[in-house]
Structure 1
Amino acid sequence: MSSQLDSAPIAPAALQRAAEWMARLWAEDASAADADACAAWRAAHPEHERAWARLQRFARQFDTLPRDVARSALAPAPRHAAGRRRALQLLGLIAAGGGTALLAHETDLWQSAASDYRTSVGETRTIVLADGTQVVLDTASAIDVRYGAGERRIVLRAGAILVTSAHETAPVYRPLLVQTPQGTATALGTRFSVRLDDGESRVAVFQGTVALQPLQPMQDGAPSLHLQAGQQAGYTRLEVQDVTNLENSAAAWTDGSLVAERMRLDELLAELGRYRHGVLRCDESIASLRVTGVYSLRDTDRSLANLAASLPVQLVYRTRYWVSVGPRQAS
């Protein structure tokens, strides 16, 4: 059983984070706090430990290299390029030892690390494509751009994006679409977001219309479902699910804010956790507390402090990378 589990595919996000932790611990300025934070991340979920063990096995292939050579290959990049370059350096080193096939074929980690555009944890980025279409990348997101004679295709590899489509200027109209592992979302003159989330894609339409087409619809030849402005939905490879009304604040992340309207505390903390390194835990006894307010995604420590000031909760920082939110203890 254990060998079967070990050979099973590993979530791309877990391998991505494991690569970042390994690169960090091999850096010259790695600290004991960094080691503690890495250990905490590994202990937080079995998938984290599997990802770490898998990369460690690849890294051991290079034990015969001089330490300064190996360290140089994995040294942290400058802050503005850290996410992309660090992952590429580690994956490139693995590739030299024959590990490329496993990583590339079992997961999308290689594609994500080598994507045309990507962001690191806590970063957002706005790009303008050749036709004038604007794309905002959310935290830990990656896209490839595939523009051709017949279509304008954006491949979402990780995370989430907000797309504001430009008018097509080519002589022959080329549809603009976002491809995910679950299918495609085609813009019909619109502004919309697409997010990858636990085996499904989620689309929110702010202007215009978006046509959703699952990759393998349950009925052959089934027409695409059209979402109108003010609607959102999730879809799997088989079907579109849960069409609901869209909240006005759904795109607040592009301005670095999270707007909560009676949101469960555990859901709010899970969203804040996407924008910070390490582990952010919520005690089950307070998970159902309801939260209303506006919280910064660019300064998540300040957001946590605001929560502690307005709710009967307390923060426990084991390290800067390991934070637990629990019930406030009586003094």
Structure 2
Amino acid sequence: MRMRASSVANDIPESVLDRAFHWAVVLGSGTAVRADHDALEHWLEQSEANRSAWRRVQAVEQEFSMARTGSRAASSALQRTARGRRMRSRAAVGSAIGVVLLLAGLLSLLLPASTGRYERQLVAVDQPRLIRLAGGTSLHLDAATTVSVSVQAGRPHLMLRDGRILVDSSAASVDRKPVIDAANTRFRALGTRFEISREKRSVGLSVLHGRVAIEADEAGGQQVAAAGERWRIRSGRIERLADDGLTPGAWVDGVIEADNARLGDVLDAIGRQRSGWLRYDATAAALRVTGVFHLSDTDAALRALEQSLPVRVDRMSGWWVTVHAK
């Protein structure tokens, strides 16, 4: 049975549904503590509307879990989307702390070197940002990205812990081009502009200009990636990927550029910029998309997809959106 937003939410205030979605994100984040569970129980005891909203949210989650059973690829994509949503929710809750950390990191990263070494700074962002590192490198951080930064003898050393970054070292001299670690992989900038993303079990690299040296800790060895190439490092194996139809780094300019790309990949990119949950089924994920979508208005992007593709976008308030194939 499919539940439409109009039938699910017509007897529950949107503010109550929003709160129920909030609790679903918190409890599904993997970081919930006893106090979170106690707070949810207290909220449920306050009214029947709260309990009804919570039951509705659980029912939708159960429906979607059943729909994706048997499709490992679809499940993996949905888990990546959900992880991004959980990060966005946590970032929103702690946005003030994130701003303090960002400013503290900028103060040390922008000052000229005196000792030749800085302590590591943790930078966590909830929306795309630009940081100019010592030595001339520009570091673009996508939403829901966490990276540790240190500067040693003028050379930036980055540890990508989660999310996605775009590095532009065109203004940096050879001895000040950055080194980036992600999982068990090291990337050395030999050229100018490239994108690195970290997923749960792999790390991705897209080279826009120049070259990047890849060094895997395990048996994967080394590889030099050239402009226009995409690579994935998983379990120590370095493998080249085919073009996925998405323009690397377009998010820096606030857009998604798709040329015969999978709808699932486009929705993942849109989902990074939204609070709450954006989900889709396997049939919808396999559809192909061509177009330019502005990340400043993700609701407009979803409406454009609904108008141009055989899909239906169901909205249960701003927190919970599902895309189904018609």
Same fold (TM over 0.5): yes
Q: Secondary structure at the match of 1:216?
A: coil
What does residue range 292-331 of structure 1 map to in structure 2 within 5 Å?
292-328=290-326
CA displacement at 1:167 relative to structure 2: 5.1
Change (3 A) 1:302 1:201: same
Aligned to 1:34: 18
Distance 1:51 1:254 in 2: 30
8 Å contact kept, 2:133–2:156: no
> Which one of the candidate residues 139, 143, 149 is aligned to 1:145?
149
Higher relative contact order (CA 8 A, sep 6+): 2
Distance 1:255 1:199 in 2: 28
Change (3 A) 1:115 1:272: farther
Aligned to 1:208: 210
Aligned to 1:10: none
Q: Secondary structure at the match of 1:249?
A: coil
Change (3 A) 1:209 1:301: same
CA displacement at 1:147 relative to structure 2: 0.9
CA displacement at 1:211 relative to structure 2: 0.5
Q: Secondary structure at the match of 1:52?
A: coil
8 Å contact kept, 1:115–1:142: no
Aligned to 1:77: none
Greater shift, 149-158 or 124-133, is seen at 149-158
Change (3 A) 1:189 1:263: closer
Q: State how many pairs are aligned.
A: 244
Q: Secondary structure at the match of 1:280?
A: strand
Change (3 A) 1:201 1:50: closer
The answer to whether residue 171 in structure 2 is matched with residue 160 in structure 1 is no
Aligned to 2:108: none
8 Å contact kept, 1:315–1:323: yes
| Residues 153-177 of structure 1: CA deviation (Å, up to 9, x unaligned) | 111122111111155569xx35521
Distance 2:96 2:255 in 1: 27
Aligned to 1:21: none
Distance 1:81 1:52 in 2: 16
User: Percent of aligned positions with the same letter in both sequences?
Assistant: 30
CA displacement at 1:314 relative to structure 2: 2.1
CA displacement at 1:271 relative to structure 2: 2.3
Q: Secondary structure at the match of 1:272?
A: helix
8 Å contact kept, 1:214–1:237: no
Aligned to 2:76: none
Q: Secondary structure at the match of 2:267?
A: helix
Aligned to 1:179: 181
RMSD between aligned alpha carbons?
3.3
8 Å contact kept, 2:246–2:258: no
Distance 2:283 2:37 in 1: 39
Change (3 A) 1:213 1:319: same
Aligned to 2:252: 254
Aligned to 1:280: 278
* Structure 1, unpaired ranges of 5+: 1-29, 61-79, 90-113
Q: Which one-letter code corresponds to 1:32 in the other structure?
A: V
Q: Secondary structure at the match of 2:32?
A: helix
Q: Secondary structure at the match of 1:217?
A: coil
Greater shift, 237-246 or 176-185, is seen at 237-246
CA displacement at 1:82 relative to structure 2: 6.0
Distance 1:295 1:146 in 2: 35
8 Å contact kept, 2:258–2:292: yes
Aligned to 2:96: 85
8 Å contact kept, 1:263–1:291: yes
8 Å contact kept, 2:202–2:234: yes
Q: TM-score scaled to structure 1, two decimals? A: 0.64
Distance 1:55 1:241 in 2: 44
8 Å contact kept, 1:151–1:175: yes
8 Å contact kept, 1:152–1:176: yes
What does residue range 214-229 of structure 1 map to in structure 2 within 5 Å?
214-217=216-219, 222=221, 224-229=222-227
Aligned to 2:124: 118
* Structure 2, unpaired ranges of 5+: 1-13, 41-90, 101-119
What does residue range 3-18 of structure 1 map to in structure 2 within 5 Å?
none
Q: Which one-letter code corresponds to 1:325 in the other structure?
A: V
